[in-house]
Amino acid sequence: MTNTIPEQKIGIFNYELSVEKKGRKKYYYQLTEDSKKLFGHTHDKRPMELNETSQIVRRILTTLSGNITVQSEEGIQGLVSDEQIKNKIMQSLTHIDQALEGYELNRESIEQKQIEEEREKYLGEITKQADEFQDFLIINDISLNTFLWYICEWLAGGESKNSMIGLICHLSTYFKIKPVWFLSLGKAGEGKSVIDNNSQVMMPNNAVMNGRISEKAIYRKTMELGDNYVDGKILTMKDLGGNRDIDKWMDTIDRYKELSTEGITEFEIVSDTPDELTGERKTRFFTVEGYPSVCLTSVNTESFDDQIMRRGVNVSPEATDQQVKKFYHFNKGLIKEERKRILEKELGLFHAYVEYIYEEYHDIEIINPYWTCLERWFKDSEYYKSSLSLYPSLVEAVTLLHYHDRETIPFNDKEYLVSTRFDNKLIADLFNPSQGMSESSSRVFNLLLKWYKPFSYDELEAYKIGDITLRDADTFFTVGEVKHKTGRIKALSGLPIGEIINTLQNNGLIEAVDKVNRGNKNIYVLSEFESLESSNIIFDDDIINDYLEDIEYMYGIPPSMVSKVIIHENTNKTSNNSIGDLKLPPWFSPSPMVAARGQPLYTKEAARGHFDDFIYRPRPPLRPQEATKNNIIEEV
């Protein structure tokens, strides 16, 4: 418990005196008139210890002397004497001292009451805003997921999908389902920080904390905020540009890894100041508890060990130069103001909604009747054991986010929320089941599937005897050949192809079968022939029914109760994915995006219709020489 006590106030005629205890022997005295500060003074004596000759008493008396008047019953005004003023000051100091003492004696109950009042006020505010957010969705006739996509489009050009992925990872951490790390990896200048920032902007302010702090800073925060201050927080490490950055912060990252897995880590730090008696620096021991996640960016696409990669999800920038150009071209003037309004007002309502869900429903039990379908979707991923908790947790985060429009099952004094097919399909559509590899590795592998056929010994023999060259080969390749082909693709030029080929080999996607003629370089062939992004989740009724039988064993809930929710879900499908009267930004990219029922939100033509509507008024009339030109909206 600290030695500070909030200011206690008392009126002295038409003035106000306040005293705040700042420390064990430090008091701050302040005199105000109509909320205007007249003077403030720090003293080492409490109010009861001051006498009539004390500096503070004399300053108050000097300020009030000649300024206090009284009016008799006959209406005659007269000045209050200095002696009367002095007596009033001393009485006031006695009363305020008693108030300080009373607060100290009842500090625990008073502070607890204040905490409860502040929490009640906070819950009232976020509940009101959460209701406003739901009204916003209803008024605009849009789904929650359509709203999120709409916000992601306004955040930046071309990175809506990655921003949505980051948001879902962070929600899993914030809702305390599972801490999911979010890594944005790729070449320098590609826009990794944009993705990282967008994912954080989508979350409430209280969800994200600076993770780039020393052990001593962690100790100070623990002393100030409690040993579980990181629980459910997203710890941002920002850009770890090179090996030096990674080495510098690796000890801190190791601590966060331990917290993400174990929920507790122990620290031992040496005091900065020596002991007064022995002259030795004391060692302090403390613990930090909770399950935080980490978000960061790095150019070291292939350099993180699997202990980092398997803790979450990694993405790489997807925006084209043209999409980024559009964003910077249009994000000015009235459009910039509209973007600011949307991110402050509309996104602000979503933040309150997320906080409301966390406060009221984050401990609700979630049942996913499609769990086995989801498991079949990711069963071939490298980090299968980690995926068993990763993807179901992401589905739970999406399910909980939709609490307001979902049925619940009350059973045995508990409430259960049931995941839908869409919740599972959204995760399957957005995420890459081959986590542990970077997006660039996945992209290169998918290109290899287009460039090369299943291995042919005959073709290899033809190469060995000199009938064909490496460049002529259709079924095998080298690092050099892959580097040559990817170098012709602007978005892939400069990638560490050697490291990527090694990653693909370690994941069993390719294998070395021979050496090149007159050299030691490996010749590789494909081992797998399915695109890493082409894996769709399949909802098989038989395995769904089998899992329903297990639900009774796991939760005690009769399968029929869950089946009713599934039937209701299937009979209430809708294909309405319109954004109503909401306007898309001019940098909108008409690439397909997953919507409320797994349908593309817009065709290019439909999107352009909204884009054409995005014309701000007033606009000046065209000058005669411009009359034959298309306006800027039509040209884009």
Q: Are strands 181-185 and 293-298 parallel, antiparallel or unpaired?
A: parallel
159-318 is classed CATH 3.40.50: yes
| pLDDT value of position 602 | 37
pLDDT at residue 474, as a whole number: 93
* Cβ burial, residue 27 (10 Å; 0-12/13-18/19+): buried
Pick the CATH number of 439-526 from 3.30.70, 1.10.760, 1.10.10, 3.40.50: 1.10.10
Q: Dihedral, CA atoms, 121, 124, 130, 135, nearest 10 degrees? A: -140
Alpha carbons 302 and 440: distance in angstroms, whole number: 9
Per DSSP, the residues of 51-72 read -TTSHHHHHHHHHHTTT-EEE-
Round to whole Å and give the CA distance between 63 and 17.
Answer: 12
The rounded distance, in Å, linking the Cα atoms of 22 and 25 is 8
* H-assigned helices in 556-627: 559-571, 604-613
Q: CA 516 to CA 122: how far, in whole Å?
A: 68
Provide the angle, in degrees to the nearest 10, between the axes of the packed helices 107-139 and 347-361: 120
The answer to whether residues 419 and 551 touch, using CB atoms and an 8 Å cutoff, is no
**What is residue 233's predicted lDDT score, i.e. its pLDDT?**
96
* Dist CA 203 CA 622 (whole Å): 43
End-to-end CA distance of the chain: 62
**Per-domain residue ranges for the chain?**
5-105, 159-318, 439-526
Do you find a cis peptide bond into 618, omega within 30 degrees of 0? yes
> pLDDT value at position 599?
36
Query: Backbone phi, then psi, for 413, in 5-degree steps?
Result: 65, 15
The pLDDT, as a whole number, for residue 478 is 95
pLDDT at 28: 93
Nearest by Cα to 342 from 146, 585, 134, 164: 585
**What tens digit of pLDDT does each residue of 480-531 get?**
999 999 888 877 777 888 878 887 887 678 999 999 998 899 999 998 887 7
Residue 269: strand pairing partners: 284
Those residues of the chain that have pLDDT short of 70 are: 1-2, 242-243, 272-279, 300-307, 382, 432-439, 507, 533-535, 571-578, 589-636
DSSP 8-class letter at 477: B
Domains 159-318 and 439-526 share a fold: no
Tokens of 329: 């071209």
